[in-house]
Every structure is written in structure tokens, then in C-alpha cells.
Structure 1
Amino acid sequence: MTSRITPLNLTSAVLVVILGYTIFGEETNSFSASVWLLAGILLLSIASDILFRGILKNLKRIWLIELIFISLIVALMLIMKRL
């Protein structure tokens, strides 16, 4: 089984680094909320990557769908932040 790099894999890796820095970093302002938010987004990213890999077999299509999914999630987060 070959390992394929996808946008949600890259997003998950970045979120793991940010989560580790948040937990072990020196700044602990609003620690609890940010850790839970990052952990939730990380779990969503991992679960959706597994789902998309199971549904789609073409690597080009996986990249396209996952980039659209990430764009929608970022847009929804920005909209909710303004509310």
C-alpha cells in the first residue's frame, strides 16, 4: 500500500505542531479553549482525510476535493468568528 500525501495530511501535520507548541509553549493565555479547538479541528481533519481516501481513488480528485473542503472550513471559521 502506497502512502499518498494529501492536503489534509499536510493540514494535520501543521495542526499537530501548533497543538504541541500550544501545550508545551510558554504562553498559556486562554489555554483550555485553544487546545480543545485545535484538537477538534485535528480530529476533523484526520477523519475527513480517511473518508475522502475511502471514497475517491484518483489522487487528482482527492487533492481537488480536499482543497475545496479546507477552503470551506476556513471560510466557515472566519464567518463564525465575525458573529
Structure 2
Amino acid sequence: MKFRLTPLNIVAALALAFFVVSFFQSNANRGHVDFSGLYRAILGATVVVAFITDMIFRFVFKDLKRIWLVEMVFIALTVILFLLLQK
């Protein structure tokens, strides 16, 4: 099986890295409200969603250039939707 690097692989790897680092974060630099459980749940969900979505896109699109294009559009739309819903 050939390894193909895609944008959602990068997103999943970064989210997984932040997820692991969050376990080693000290309690002294946190604010009054502890969101560590919610933060970890969101990062864990991001890893799972990015992995599953990447597998779906790989199954549907065989060309690596098309996968990159579709996944970049997907990430951009997700970020825009997140920013719109945040306000």
C-alpha cells in the first residue's frame, strides 16, 4: 500500500499531537474555569472525523491532486462554518 499525504492527514496528525500534549499540560497555567475535558473531547473528535473523512475521500476520489483539492475546500468550508457559528 502506497502512503499518500493529504491535508486531512496533516489535520489529524496536528490534532492528535495537541491531544497528547494536553495530557502533559500543567494545571498552574489554566484559568479559573477548567475546560480541559471539553478541549480534549473536541480534539479527539477532530482526529476521528478527519480520519474518517479522509478515508471517504480516498475511496471516492482516486487521483491525489483531486483529493488535495477536495480536502482543502472541505477544510476551508469547515473553518468558515466554525467562525460563522462562533459569533
The AA in structure 2 aligned to 1:74 is V
Mapping for residues 7-46 of structure 1, pairs under 5 Å: 7-27=7-27, 29-46=34-51
Q: Number of matched residues?
A: 82
2:53 corresponds, among 48, 53, 59, to 48
Shift of 1:73: 0.9
Shift of 1:10: 0.6
The answer for unaligned runs of 5 or more in structure 2 is none
Normalization by structure 1: what TM-score? 0.91
Name the structure 1 match of 2:75: 70
The answer for unaligned runs of 5 or more in structure 1 is none
Q: Distance in 2 between matches of 1:80 and 1:33?
A: 18
Where relative contact order (Cα < 8 A, 6+ residues apart) is larger, the structure is: 2
Greater helix content:
1
Percent same amino acid at aligned positions? Answer: 32
Shift of 1:55: 0.6
Q: Distance in 2 between matches of 1:73 and 1:30?
A: 22
User: Quick check: which has more Rg, 1 or 2?
Assistant: 2
Normalization by structure 2: what TM-score? 0.87
Give the match's secondary structure for 1:47.
Answer: helix
Residue deviations 1:27-59, cap 9 Å, x none? 453111111111111111000000000110000
